[in-house]
């Protein structure tokens, strides 16, 4: 077995950008005969203030610095006809280990 390597992570993001661009172009062509496509996005920093206890170990570890900022990202897609929402989808990405239900 030879030591093949995977493409760099930037390769994945370039492909995702091309895919999203193609999706937007196709949806705009389709919206000429059907509903309008509305796209919204948002991003927020959710990096905790220091110090913070880190999960995932059998002993307590406390962060002393921020290695990489944590973010929450959202993309909202809506198709509308005459101002009425026909279909909608929301994609959420959060840089955390787990979520708990609100009480």
Report the Cα 9 to chain-centroid distance in Å.
Answer: 15
3-state secondary structure of 10: helix
Indicate whether 82 belongs to any domain.
Answer: yes
Indicate whether 70 belongs to any domain.
Answer: yes
Question: Is residue 103 very low, low, confident or very high in pLDDT (cuts 50, 70, 90)?
Answer: low
Decide: pTM greater than 0.75: no
Give, for 18, the enclosing helix (H) or strand (E). helix 9-31
* Closest residue by Cα to residue 28 from 74, 75, 85, 79: 79
Write the pLDDT tens digit of every residue in 31-90: 455 678 889 999 999 888 878 887 777 888 888 888 888 899 999 999 898 888 888 999
Count of the separate structural domains present in the chain: 1
Indicate whether 100 belongs to any domain.
Answer: no
pLDDT at 16 over 50: yes
Indicate whether 51 belongs to any domain.
Answer: yes
Indicate whether 73 belongs to any domain.
Answer: yes
| Domain of 53, in residue numbers | 9-94
Q: What pLDDT shows up at residue 1?
A: 40
Indicate whether 13 belongs to any domain.
Answer: yes
Indicate whether 101 belongs to any domain.
Answer: no
């Amino acid at each position: 077995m030879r030591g093949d390597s995977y493409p760099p992570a930037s390769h994945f993001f370039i492909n995702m950008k091309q895919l999203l661009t193609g999706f937007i172009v196709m949806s705009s062509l389709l919206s000429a005969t059907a509903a309008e496509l509305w796209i919204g996005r948002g991003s927020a920093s959710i990096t905790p203030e220091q110090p913070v206890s880190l999960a995932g170990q059998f002993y307590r570890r406390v962060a002393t610095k921020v290695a990489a900022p944590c973010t929450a990202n959202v993309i909202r897609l809506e198709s509308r006809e005459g101002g009425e929402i026909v279909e909608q989808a929301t994609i959420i990405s959060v840089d955390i280990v787990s979520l708990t239900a609100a009480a």
